[in-house]
Structure 1
Amino acid sequence: MAIDTLNEPVFNRDMVFRNVRRRAWITVGAPLAILAYLTYTWFAFNVPNLLAKAQPERAAILATDSVAYKVHVTKFLRRDIMEVAIEGERRATYSQEDLPEWVEVDGTDAVIDLGEGYGVTIAGKVMEFTVPDYGTIKVTATNSGVETELPAGPVPDWLKDNPKKLDARPTLDRRVQVTRTKIEVHNYFGGWENFWFPFHSELHGMSFSQLWAIALSNERLDPNRSNMSLIMHDFLENPDWQHGEVFVALFETIMMAVLGTITAALFGLPLAFLAARNFTPSRFLRFGTRRLFDFLRGIDMLIWSLIFIRAFGLGPLTGALAIAFTDTGSLGKLFSEALENIDNKQVEGVRATGASQIQRYRFGVIPQILPVFVSQVLYYLESNTRSATVIGALGAGGIGLMLVETMKTSRDWENTSYIIILTIVVVIVMDQTSSWLRRKLIEGR
């Protein structure tokens, strides 16, 4: 019986070995290449120097300031007065009859209980700070600076002592500073104080149930306005948190994103027909339109915003124009690609009914690209809400400008956290809204 060897596979040992060696080189070479690249970037970006300059304790302080508030107990030595205030603000100053329980004031002297064994005594120009497991720090303010008496032993890292100023922060929530002009004690508490109403408002410190009862009561706290109007006024006009101004700025940011995205979509769609190969036979016109898209989206949105700020000045309109210019290029390119991939059979079917060219576009083309159109516009709208915040920080207005202003002060980090949280909430709402619209408009649900 003859054996048919023509259809048997030929085993090429050399080819198999070459494939095995190639895979081995790839398996070993790829990780080595990645490691070499990471090593290069480690030194090219001077990472060791950056780590040496890092200040993790500064980051911890800023994080504490963003979720807590501090009460200042300050003795002004030149005027010989004692003041207790929240965040050191004059409009949030305690009266002598309504001081916190942990502060006892006798004239211009004070005894302060900071908890857990920490305590401060202020008498004249002398301050004594008792620290558990360390001892008592005695500081005397003089005309030229401060004189400090420390317990025996090494000076801890949290204590900064020089002839001009003493700064002691044994924990994140306790701090003492002494200079020749004042003695200041900071005591931190969790939360955002005065968030709802100003310190001196009649509504300050009230619970939600109390506010609800006042809102429904016919007995007015202010004879010139209703209780509900008073509640809204004190909340929106809160000088520390500026809720009213924040909400207006947030609305400007949203409008900036909406106006810019809608403008880009309205200009991008007709231009996409000029860039699509199956709708514009002129190669010169297609080339010019596509290069226009490249030009518009090739310049970053931040650069456009700087150009328009120089041309038109500060304001939300400059941010909307920057978004519109950049997204016209991006959406136009996406729409033109969608137009080139449509099914011509549907267009021919509409043409067979005797429809005009406009009707062919309306009933044969638009329904095919509508899912891409809606999906991309909604995605860019969601993305532009974040971009509008960054553009606003450059001077276009909106919530971004307020965010930068709070960060410049280096002391209102709780306000910074508030604005960041509001921005995140708006982005989440825009994401959920766009998802809902996609389901309604595209999937028909």
Structure 2
Amino acid sequence: MTLMKSWVESANRAECPFPLNNLPYGVFTTNSLEPRCGVAIGDMILDLSAAEEVGLIELAENPVFDVPYWNDVMELGPEAWEILRARLQELLVEGASEQATVAPHLVPMSEARMEMPIVVAEYTDFYAGRHHATNVGTMFRGAENALPPNWLHIPIGYNGRASSVVVSGTDVIRPNGQTKAPDADTPSFGPCKRLDIELEMGAIVGTASELGHPVSVAQADEMIFGYVLLNDWSARDIQAWEYQPLGPFQAKAFATSISPWIVTRAALEPFRTSTPARERELLPYLQEPKPMLYDIDLSVTIQPQGGAKTTICETNYKEMYYSAAQQLAHHASSGCAMTPGDLLGSGTISGPEKHQRGSLLELSWGGKEPVDIGNGQTRSFIEDGDTLTLHGAAKGDGYLIGFGACTGTIKPAVKFP
């Protein structure tokens, strides 16, 4: 597919992440507007609440865009999602007959502040990138036992905290927690010393499944409303002490950042690609009827306080071993009811090369090989004042499908009372 031209000129630039091909959904506010739903087009945001009010868009009997979340739209289902996308393209395409009516409802991105795009119902994080799992397993268990026995058969996951999912730009406070040094007799309590990122994609569930009823991989794919960049911040030292036998808890409960724009499945359709070849055949309920991953270039930058940005990771979403549709199908396979607004974290996305590792734990190999971030500085883990930013875009013929940055700055731990 080639670039679709819009009468919003900034959307037609090759380097623009938000062309007419994309049309990602978010929630924004300005000094004069309450938070409401919007769609990105070029360097502008179309105010969907205003467009709905004047009759340019009518998706349901009652208004659905005058609220600060997309959950109401998600619950309308895939047919309504298709109608909305088609109508937006009709309104914004080059030569649109209603351009003069639409134009007054465009808001410059420079004047807007982005908010959480959804009310997160539940949050589940997976451990589904083979290179990441192999690296981490090798560090802690040796190469011969890197992957647990179940890893090649199921997408391993754990239930996280919806309450600590935040939108890009929200500061992250260094967590406190209980840790135990290898040479210590007893644990201690205090600020995390091995704070890390996890470069992930997040899949947003748009339609529900019924309690007690599983869904197929194909059905799961249809249930996904769209995708965001996701940084599942991790306290590695807290995790090392607490995770056995039940897995991550406080080490992952303090913050998970997502990008502000939801990129729809329709926008990503030209970039579908297959999961890697299977070393062991998956059980039938997890087998994919068609390509379920996406070719999306991803990167991470780090910027120390007062310093310059340095890229520390470049990888691609297609490196995942399990797709979001497989993860969702597995999640529902027990009869677990999935809900509109559920957020599924892909797991850390790492590639086979060192510069493709999606966490500092891997990049610094557990702190043994500090990462050069320029100006004579290195990092094994994140320091206070550091800003970490995830970037992502699918690259088409003369256009990009971008997500907007997913960024967070680390603030010092709060002193425990």
> Which category of TM-score, normalised to the shorter sequence, fits these structures?
under 0.3
Q: Which has the higher contact order (CA 8 A, sep 6+)?
A: 2
Higher helix proportion (structure 1 or 2): 1
Higher strand proportion (structure 1 or 2): 2
Question: Normalising to structure 2: TM-score of the pair?
Answer: 0.25
Question: Normalising to structure 1: TM-score of the pair?
Answer: 0.24
